[in-house]
Structure 1
């Protein structure tokens, strides 16, 4: 069930996190007058145009237009959805956000989670120190080409062969048996004896995007050892394999090209990282899930599936591909040779070799056509015909005529079937029900809205800025003059708050708008330091009035022509009177 938070609680989190302090943790800010400035973290720039206001608790980049409050800043920097960003900031100042209706129960849940995070941090330190005592584990990592720097970056460790070494260590740190059992790192036998889950394994801490250790993966170092090759922490209140992606905590900082490479295992991630390829994540010993797809949407625009080249890897690729089709991501597939995985491939061909392979990754359609070719002999006529008919079914999933044209040409070249025949068969199957193309009536008002004169647009923005600074003027504001629904929604929100006697807080106003562009515009209005005087406001209203009336005249003229053509003399007379009245009023206003 989704947890909802009141405006008051959200505001309290915002007030507890000074935006200058938060932003300073990610960038260098220098005081300039009443504000702080630095180079924008959201786009490359030579001259600092990123401004943070402590007074308004807002940021705005005058270069790229990015803007918002401390929550939107964390959402962008940490690539988190709103609720997670709120939790991130709450944790930063040790605030407890309610997740249950019962406050006492809520506090207990919070304390339990906090205890588990502490326990996992201590366990990670323990495993890391144990690695230094195991020559076997160090040699294993060295043979796999893992440097000390990478070991440190990932916090790799070692679980000794002893059955109770970690249990004893956690006891000395003050953790109860219940704490240890809740973590899943300690287990109980049938006769109630407690022992370590992980033994004789290289250990991989699993870190969530907020930098908290939530679980572990352990790998055997020799094929003759008993037990599964990989073993993960069980599901706990802070860890679920279906929701976490290994290395996302590092990967999110290396996404300059907006691309994430998805691999299968811990060692794939670490070997690629060692070779300088740091934009990789892995599912944690479980099938790729729809939630993994949703997480990736937050961080990237494109994903490349780079699973093992064996049959199991191909099967996993097809499953992940089906899930990722339902996201907004651009999905590509890297097909590795049968005996290769990303780890072995990068060891053999190096960083550039892997990057070259990624640059040649196939689109979903290309990959599906390649699979289809593997089941049909294109040297035979019946094989080409069968492939052509099956390929048409694949091309039916395409959404644009450009894509249909491109892939139809490809299939035609492979089969000898005429491209137009393939294209026609694809398009014929895409019925209007499956791909509706609704007619849009272009009205005169719509045309006017698309061609707003700059002076009219500027006047509207200036008038709105004045109202934001002086909410008492909203009562007299002519809403009909506004051309964008967002402007009307903004002023109506202010009006309702003022009517209810509420204090108008910019952060609360922003919370009423979901679209990031709307939020950026509000911030742009609030961060503009040029004063709008009463006379400026009056001038803006006069400009808006003039353009509004001119638009009305155009609309009436069109109606008069239409009614005249239809022979509706009475309607023409009435519309003409309205037109005369507007012209008269405009003339009177011009005299004043």
Structure 2
């Protein structure tokens, strides 16, 4: 969640945009009691289960579980990050969000960006019209198998070889020299001569997810021309190569299966798009960045890296892979022949041929093991041993025993080393990893380190938290230690802090404490659930939680007693045994009552 705008500013935008009116612009809603219902826009359904509450200013789908406020709705529908969704809604009601603490400066900055967007729109129109009259540019695109439909859809254009044709055109449209220089489309020489940055190039408008043109990429048509093959707009107040991805504005609409392809160049994107592979993006003349990774997480569940097959492409693949492995995305790597890129490959083999190669794409672990195999001679004993030792380091990154078992078998086949030996070494190396020495049983966090939480315990916690959200005064003395999920603790703690500060607890401000979209959905689900939780239900839930909590404490103490006893630590055994007896005694007393 951004810290750039205050809670009051965010709340003002939310209050100015009625969620029923906003949602109605994307779907048909019908009144149902105090709420409105429609078919969920986020999953296919026959019966309407998507509910929008004007009173609560929230939405929730009882089918797929999505939910949130007007900002999260726009984030999902328009595929925008939080700040852009906020600005989208602000513009909808003619609000100007502050960029500084000076209102006049804010307005000037807003108008300056507005002019830059318009300048780029006019420039794109100019380049497009020039292309339509330039035979050599048209012939080049025809030779590259790019149709008129694609030219129109991507707004491709052409920059002539004249020194200042675009500059003169934009001047004629009323843009000042300072604005032209700020855009990066015009440069100035030492003798104060103003000239075009892009000349004799096919032009690719770069469009952000909101549909605004923010920059350009220009490509030379022949190797005989002087200058770099590709040239991009410089960094400006509306454009950063580290954040933007080419074709994301189209791609976000073709994500039915959650998969997205990452390629290196504009022509790769366009050729794949022409062949019906529309869920493709490219970085813009820069290395793939962590910011790109974060952006892709908003749109996809799986990404396939499809870079060029040459050495430069392989190097770029490894760099992108190392960034993406830290994300929540499922990552695969496509291996193309050394002399091919996605553009040339799909032109020769078509959509079917491309998808055949995609079906053989490697996981990150498979790809890393493949690289390791290339660097070791597996026909020699020392090569096998070195490969096995290094492979174990790679397998340490695996999360589940199923994955460890699968890849251990793969390494065993390559080396002849017993699979169980490899598997045991992987698990041992994971437990010796830094930070794992202090792992102890802890019922207060359901993080996979303690025992499995019984269903009754989970249900009791949910009921108790739902009751507390409606009867906030109960949180003051709520036994937080009984909660096994960090989410529940953080949620009630956020409400408690508001109460202690004497502030009214607003649902939108409460949601602002959570970055994770799944956690936001859960809060909304709680607030939209009209099923009553009585005081008696709450008390029963507390009793269930207390019983399971004490039982878990006993099991934890029992494990610690065994461990300390094996280590010969008699003092610790005595102390832990006393704690064990006290809890048993208390549980017995409670049972009598």
Q: Could you say which TM-score interval applies, normalised by the shorter chain?
A: 0.7 to 0.9
- 2:234 and 2:134 map into 1 onto residues whose CA distance is 26
Residues 341-370 of structure 1, C-alpha deviations (whole Å, 9 max, x = no match):
101111111111111111111223332333
Deviation at 1:268, TM superposition (A): 0.3
Alignment of 1:347-496 (within 5 A): 347-375=347-375, 378=378, 381-382=379-380, 385-386=382-383, 388-398=385-395, 399-400=397-398, 402-420=402-420, 432-434=432-434, 436=436, 438-441=438-441, 450-452=454-456, 456=460, 460=464, 463-464=467-468, 466-467=470-471, 474=473, 479-480=478-479, 483-484=482-483, 490=491, 493-494=494-495
- 2:416 and 2:546 map into 1 onto residues whose CA distance is 63
Q: Does the 8 Å contact 2:35/2:52 carry over to 1?
A: yes
Q: Does the 8 Å contact 1:157/1:203 carry over to 2?
A: yes
Alignment of 1:198-277 (within 5 A): 198-277=198-277
Task: Please name the residue that 2:23 is paired with.
Answer: 23
Query: Secondary structure at 1:245's aligned position in 2?
Result: coil
Query: Secondary structure at 2:88's aligned position in 1?
Result: helix
Structure 2 CA distance for partners of 1:406 and 1:388, relative to 1, 3 Å: farther
Task: Please name the residue that 1:323 is paired with.
Answer: 323
Structure 2 CA distance for partners of 1:337 and 1:156, relative to 1, 3 Å: same
- 2:10 and 2:158 map into 1 onto residues whose CA distance is 42
Task: Please name the residue that 1:36 is paired with.
Answer: 36
| Contiguous gaps of at least 5 residues in structure 2 | 562-572
Task: Please name the residue that 2:526 is paired with.
Answer: 525
Deviation at 1:503, TM superposition (A): 4.0
Task: Please name the residue that 1:58 is paired with.
Answer: 58
- 1:357 and 1:444 map into 2 onto residues whose CA distance is 47
- 1:112 and 1:263 map into 2 onto residues whose CA distance is 33
1:144 and 2:148 correspond:
no
Residues 356-404 of structure 1, C-alpha deviations (whole Å, 9 max, x = no match):
11111122333233334445555xx43x642541353144122345444
- For the pair shown, the structure with the greater C-alpha radius of gyration is 1
Task: Please name the residue that 1:590 is paired with.
Answer: none
| Contiguous gaps of at least 5 residues in structure 1 | 587-592
Structure 2 CA distance for partners of 1:557 and 1:251, relative to 1, 3 Å: closer
- 1:89 and 1:186 map into 2 onto residues whose CA distance is 33
Residues 19-77 of structure 1, C-alpha deviations (whole Å, 9 max, x = no match):
22332343333333443222222222221111112232110001122111011222333
Structure 2 CA distance for partners of 1:476 and 1:390, relative to 1, 3 Å: closer
Deviation at 1:287, TM superposition (A): 2.0
Structure 2 CA distance for partners of 1:501 and 1:196, relative to 1, 3 Å: same
- 2:576 and 2:341 map into 1 onto residues whose CA distance is 78
- 2:582 and 2:311 map into 1 onto residues whose CA distance is 78
- 1:552 and 1:423 map into 2 onto residues whose CA distance is 34
- 2:587 and 2:434 map into 1 onto residues whose CA distance is 46
Residues 225-249 of structure 1, C-alpha deviations (whole Å, 9 max, x = no match):
2322211111212212222211112
Deviation at 1:269, TM superposition (A): 0.1
Task: Please name the residue that 1:294 is paired with.
Answer: 294
- 2:65 and 2:481 map into 1 onto residues whose CA distance is 22
Structure 2 CA distance for partners of 1:388 and 1:87, relative to 1, 3 Å: farther
- 1:289 and 1:555 map into 2 onto residues whose CA distance is 44
- 2:546 and 2:435 map into 1 onto residues whose CA distance is 41
Query: Secondary structure at 2:534's aligned position in 1?
Result: helix
Task: Please name the residue that 1:88 is paired with.
Answer: 88
Please say which of residues 183-192 and 127-136 is displaced more in the overlay. 127-136
Query: Secondary structure at 2:456's aligned position in 1?
Result: coil
Q: Does the 8 Å contact 1:455/1:543 carry over to 2?
A: no
Structure 2 CA distance for partners of 1:196 and 1:358, relative to 1, 3 Å: same
Q: Does the 8 Å contact 1:27/1:41 carry over to 2?
A: yes
Structure 2 CA distance for partners of 1:33 and 1:557, relative to 1, 3 Å: closer
Q: CA RMSD in A?
A: 3.9
Q: Does the 8 Å contact 1:308/1:342 carry over to 2?
A: yes
Deviation at 1:159, TM superposition (A): 1.6
- 2:475 and 2:344 map into 1 onto residues whose CA distance is 71
Deviation at 1:508, TM superposition (A): 2.0
Structure 2 CA distance for partners of 1:556 and 1:106, relative to 1, 3 Å: closer
- 2:549 and 2:338 map into 1 onto residues whose CA distance is 70
Task: Please name the residue that 1:589 is paired with.
Answer: none
- 2:542 and 2:428 map into 1 onto residues whose CA distance is 52
Task: Please name the residue that 1:159 is paired with.
Answer: 159
Query: Secondary structure at 2:10's aligned position in 1?
Result: helix
Q: Does the 8 Å contact 2:262/2:307 carry over to 1?
A: yes
Query: Secondary structure at 2:298's aligned position in 1?
Result: helix
- The number of equivalent residue pairs is 570
Deviation at 1:505, TM superposition (A): 2.7
Task: Please name the residue that 1:506 is paired with.
Answer: 507
Q: Does the 8 Å contact 2:216/2:232 carry over to 1?
A: yes
Q: Does the 8 Å contact 1:269/1:282 carry over to 2?
A: yes
- 1:450 and 1:241 map into 2 onto residues whose CA distance is 49
Residues 265-306 of structure 1, C-alpha deviations (whole Å, 9 max, x = no match):
100000001111111111111222232223223322322111
- 2:579 and 2:227 map into 1 onto residues whose CA distance is 88
Q: Does the 8 Å contact 1:444/1:555 carry over to 2?
A: no
Residues 537-573 of structure 1, C-alpha deviations (whole Å, 9 max, x = no match):
34434544665676799799999x99xx989999999
